[in-house]
Chain A
C-alpha cells in the first residue's frame, strides 16, 4: 500500500495535537517550548505533503516555506531559551505558574 496524502495529513494532525497538549499541560518552560517544536514540525510536514501531492508542477513553494520554518524555529528557540535562562537566574525556577511578577 502506497502512502497517500491522507496518511501524511493524519500523522501531522496527531503530531499537532500532541504538541498542543504539551503546550497546554506542561509547567516547565523548556517543556512548553518542546511542544512548540512539535507543532512547527506538524505544520512543516503538511507543507511538504501538499507540495508533493497537490502542487508539484507549480514550483517548490511548499519546500521553500519549510526552509523558512526551520530557520525561524532556530531563531525562536535561541531567543526563547536565552529568556528562559534569564528567568531561571532571577526566579530560580522556570515553572510558568511561579512567574506571576511583571516587574520587581
Chain B
C-alpha cells in the first residue's frame, strides 16, 4: 500500500515540475528564464520516464538533453540577446495572442477528450525490469538500419552546424 502511494505522490510532484516549468518556458518575457526553465521540464520528463520503467531513456534524457541540447540553447540565448534588452528579449506577439490561446486550449481539450474516451488495449503490468538490455538487443537487431542512419544524420547535422556557424565566427559581426 505504501508503495502505491509513493507512485502517486512521485507522479504528482513530477507532473507539477514538468508543467510548471513548461508554463515558465511559454510565458516568461526573458529568454534566459525560458531557457533555464526548460531544465525543469526536461528533468521532470526524465523522472516520469523512471516511473514508466524506462530507466535508460531517463539517463539518456539527462545526458543528451540537459547536458547537450540545453547548453546549446543557453549559448544561443546568450549570444543573441543584447544584455540591455534581456528583460524583454522573449516578448510575445502584440496581436493574435487571444486567438492563439483559444486554438491551443481547444486543441488541448480535444486531445484530453480523445485520450480519456478511447478504450486503450491495456495490458496486465509485469514487473518493471531494467530496460537497457532489451533496448540494446532491439537497436542492434530489428532497428539496426534506423540506428545506423541516425548516426549518419547526427554526423551530418554536426558538420552542417559547424559549417554554418563557422562563417558567422570567421566573418565577425557586420557593422
Chain A interface (Cβ < 8 Å from any Cβ of B):
1-3, 5-11, 13-22, 24-31, 33-35, 37-38, 41, 44-45, 48-57, 59-61, 63-64, 66-68, 70-79, 81-86, 88-90, 92, 94, 97
Contact = CB atoms under 8 A, between A and B. Distances in A.
Interface residues of B, number: 90
A1 B10 CA distance: 11
Interface on chain B toward A: helix, strand, loop, or mixed SS? Answer: helix
Interface on chain A toward B: helix, strand, loop, or mixed SS? Answer: helix
A26 B23 CA distance: 13
B7 A25 contact: no
Nearest to B9: A1
Interface in B21-39: 22-23, 25-26, 31, 34-35, 38
B4 A2 contact: yes
Contacts of A35: 25-26
Contacts of A48: 48-49, 52, 54, 57
Contacts of B23: 18
A38 B138 contact: no
Contact of A38 (B41, B49, B51, B135): B41
